[in-house]
Amino acid sequence: MDGVTTLYTKQGRILPCFCYESLPSTNDEAKRIARTGEYARFSVAAEGQTAGRGRMSRAFLSPRGMGLYLSFVYEPTGAFTRTGVLAALAVGALLEEYFGIDARFKWPNDVIAEGKKICGILPESVVAADGARRVVIGAGVNLFEEERDFGELADIATSAVLCCKNEMLKAEFMQNKRAVTLDMAVRLTELMSRLADCEESGEDLLPEYRAKLLTLGKRVRFTGRDGAPCDGVASDIAPDCSLIVLTGDGKTAVGWGEVTEQGGAGERNAAARPEENA
């Protein structure tokens, strides 16, 4: 898979997609390239990672040949916190296009299929040689895992082939894993760049994200500004993508900290399990 595929957008932008069989971390490689300032937009993709990480430097399992691990780099025009929304929408569109999966989202940017996590997203930032700050959006998409591959995470994690209802299509994908992964890497790069263009032109992507956000209406627990535990009902998303929670004291905007959904089959952290993040 090692190599580079160069895309040319309708706007005349050169959009390289650097592809590898394995990397320690696609985000780290993307940062290295971004620091040179050679490309305004590009992506780094791998079939596996040996040192993948999630939020708060948690380990992220990235077995080779099981998923797509891709980091997209661009210079945002809006709030940094909105970049996760862009990535979630792009991954959702990718899963619909290839596998017919109707993906949903858990705040802030987990991608959910059939009630289980199918993709984790990790936005970071880096300063390029020209002084411009660029965003690095890492996405880890579960593609080819069977239930046994998830081990103790089988009750909360899933993959594209497990959710795909087209048996012929699923068999074809399983027989051509490398080709499918490379093709999806190029396509996800295109989708992320297109959504970045939409945001740059002023198009509001939040309504589409909000319509598929499973967190809304759920009772959640979070840490307040004073460090004390708080709880309430998630009611909306602010323009900067913070979560609006109705508490006994009124509305509270929760940033990108830990938010736990309460009730159901045990409390689930919206972005906390070590193996769940990208």
pLDDT tens digit sequence for 218-233: 999 988 877 788 899 9
pLDDT tens digit sequence for 128-171: 888 888 999 999 999 999 999 988 889 999 999 999 999 999 99
Other Cβ atoms less than 10 A from the Cβ of 118: the count is 28
Residue 5 has pLDDT above 50, yes or no: yes
Question: Is there a contact between 33 and 13 (Cβ–Cβ < 8 Å)?
Answer: no
| Cα–Cα distance list, 131 to 38, 112, 246 (Å) | 12, 36, 40
What's the whole-number mean pLDDT along residues 92-118? 95
Q: Give the C-alpha separation, 194 to 42, whole Å.
A: 12
pLDDT grade for 43, boundaries at 50, 70 and 90: very high
pTM value?
Answer: 0.86
Question: Is there a contact between 71 and 43 (Cβ–Cβ < 8 Å)?
Answer: yes
| Model pLDDT, residue 274 | 29
pLDDT grade for 265, boundaries at 50, 70 and 90: very low
Range with the poorest average pLDDT among 9-18, 20-29, 76-85, 218-227: 9-18
What is the residue-averaged pLDDT of the chain? 85
Percent of the chain with pLDDT over 70: 85
pLDDT grade for 183, boundaries at 50, 70 and 90: very high
| Model pLDDT, residue 272 | 32
Residue 53 has pLDDT above 80, yes or no: no
Residue 245 has pLDDT above 50, yes or no: yes
| Model pLDDT, residue 107 | 92
What's the whole-number mean pLDDT along residues 192-205? 90
| Model pLDDT, residue 277 | 39
Residue scoring higher pLDDT (54 or 196): 196
